[in-house]
Amino acid sequence: MTTENFDFVIVGGGTAGCVLADRLTASGKHRVLLLEAGGEPSSMWINIPAGFSKLLTNKKYNWLFKTAPEEKTYNRIISVPRGRGLGGSSLINGMIYVRGQPDDYDAWAAGGATGWAYKDVEPYFRRMENYPSGGETRGKSGPFQLDQVHERFPISDAFLKAAEQDGQPFNEDYNSPAQEGFGYYQVNQRNGQRCSAYDAYLRPARSRSNLVVRTGAHVLRLDLQGQRCTGVTYLCDGQEISVSASLEVVMAAGAVQTPQILELSGIGRPELLKSLGIPVKQALMGVGENYIDHFATRMNWRVKNTITLNEMARGWRLVREVMKYFAFRKGILTLGTGLVHGFIKTKSELNRPDAQFFMVHASYANAAERILDQQPGMTIGVTQLRPESKGSIHIQSANPFDQPAIRPNFLDSQVDRECIVESMKAARRIVSKSAMANFIDHEMSPGESTMSDADWLEFARRDGQTIYHPLGTCRMGTDSNAVVDLRLKVMGMKGLRIVDASVIPKMVSGNIQGAVIMVAERGSDLILEDYAS
């Protein structure tokens, strides 16, 4: 049987894969195959921003990964949603756009990722952004369309006033070099509709004759000859198919599945691979290690003297909002997971923010199933920006269809525990200011009986969740535990590169979608530079 040959084979049609497919085919010089296990982004809920709540529990668009039970979070099984289908997690996320802080990227460089400091990566943020209302540091003509949340409500404006009363600065653009402060979130939307990585990058590229896109293609393994990756084998409609890459296979399957596919192919920790009967092709101790994610708590208040999303999302009010959305692309259907942002310092001596707030005038009766309360409510999501706790993601069997073991190790670090406690105390303090007095009835969760640091930590362990930002499991670097080098090539291998969230060495300060697109933008340049001749 003749094996199809391409210059590049991209594994994964998610956020990074969409960027790569666009950039690697733009010149017309290279023939590229993009493989995606999921399908086409065909649901009506994708373009409607509020539709994310319908997709987060939909197995067609979500891999529905779960963590292994861990003692530090009381052996709870925590959901780790990851997008499935062309566009990946950019189809189902809350659309919040955050660059992070310049010091984040300078810390990458200081830790060994030379060439990835903020001065190196900032041009890629500007290249990808299309944010017309931004200042001179923002991109205004890139493919990724951005907007500020347009909806305004009395309770959200009051929350901003309360933050001001607490001494917090107002910040119109937290994606300028200065992140600290409060304001309305920026989102990847235009005209009230989601702009996914598929919309921004892949859809325009699909008309090119040198790009082939295959969905329903579940990659089983990388094809290796000695220390060279020559292609991949995938399953489609019950048939195993092998394709070859004359230049490179580029892994873009994300922080969960990229290490999984490497390990299934014999690249990883020898003792793990041997225990599962997988021949070791390349020993790399860092594969699946260094897993970092944002851990968050959700504080809720019963509110009064206002109408919240809890009431607006049902009955005649919902009918009105649906009509408003389809007529004008306005109203509550344009909202994602955050309305008002807050980036704060939990200690006065800190030189930059270490915590993030997501305020929205809604509360869940069942957060897992996205069922809103019947009565009016408000939520502040609270997360530590740069957690120090690190976990792992490893395969549990040689079966490519078995989910890997996801062990985040949340709240392992004392720094993390202190930060999440101080963050929640700061949220309560701001809500207690006079600007909010007309709206607050009482605190529902964790409740006003929560007073001591031990109480706050107990609440975090009992109720905290990931906010879906896994990264680091194939981190870049120059040390012995790095999986890829500074050009994102897999250590000790030829013809194999990783360009996705797994290569990010340290957590960025905020939602990671922007950083992932930046890595893919820069990764595509590195690839094209290497094959310019």
Rounded Cα distance between 25 and 207, Å, is: 11
In whole angstroms, how far apart are CA 105 and each of 23, 97, 110, 471, 514?
Answer: 23, 17, 9, 15, 13
Rounded Cα distance between 466 and 387, Å, is: 12
pLDDT given at position 18: 98
Nearest in space to 313 (alpha carbons), one of 368, 360, 381? 360
pLDDT given at position 247: 98
Q: Is 121 strand, coil or helix?
A: helix
In whole angstroms, how far apart are CA 424 and each of 35, 215, 455?
Answer: 42, 43, 11
pLDDT given at position 369: 65
In whole angstroms, how far apart are CA 123 and each of 116, 129, 416, 519?
Answer: 11, 10, 31, 12
Tell me which H or E stretch contains 324.
helix 315-328
- Identify the structural domains of the chain with CATH numbers, from first to last: 1-58+84-144+196-290+471-533 (3.50.50.60), 150-184+295-386+411-463 (3.30.410.40)
pLDDT given at position 506: 98
Which member of 294, 341, 361, 469 is catalytic? 469
**Are β-strands 32-36 and 4-11 bridged in parallel, bridged antiparallel, or unpaired?**
parallel
Nearest in space to 126 (alpha carbons), one of 107, 115, 112, 140? 140
In whole angstroms, how far apart are CA 138 and each of 104, 123, 127, 142, 374?
Answer: 18, 9, 9, 10, 41
What tokens were used for 50? 């509020």
Determine the residue type at 80: V
Distance from the first to the final alpha carbon of the chain: 31
In whole angstroms, how far apart are CA 514 and each of 354, 440, 486, 489, 520?
Answer: 18, 34, 19, 22, 10
CB atoms within 10 A of CB 132: 13
Query: Under a CB-based contact definition with an 8 Å cutoff, are residues 235 and 195 in contact?
Result: no
Rounded Cα distance between 202 and 86, Å, is: 8
Q: Is 469 a catalytic residue?
A: yes
pLDDT given at position 365: 72
What tokens were used for 159? 């929350």
For the chain, 533 residues long, give each residue's pLDDT as a single digit of tens. Answer: 457 999 999 999 999 999 999 999 999 999 999 999 999 999 999 999 999 989 988 999 999 999 999 999 999 999 999 999 999 999 999 999 999 999 999 999 999 999 999 999 999 999 999 999 999 999 999 999 999 999 999 999 999 999 999 999 999 999 999 999 999 999 999 999 999 999 999 999 999 999 999 999 999 999 999 999 999 999 999 999 999 999 999 999 999 999 999 999 999 999 999 999 999 999 999 999 999 999 999 999 999 999 999 999 999 999 999 999 999 999 999 999 999 999 999 999 999 999 999 999 999 876 666 688 989 999 999 999 999 999 999 999 999 999 999 999 999 999 999 999 999 999 999 999 999 999 999 999 999 999 999 999 999 999 999 999 999 999 999 999 999 999 999 999 999 999 999 999 999 999 999 999 999 999 999 999 999 97
- pLDDT tens figures, 397-419: 999 999 999 999 999 999 999 99
- Ramachandran class of 495: left when φ > 0, alpha when ψ lies in -120 to 50, beta otherwise: left
pLDDT given at position 364: 83
Rounded Cα distance between 65 and 89, Å, is: 13
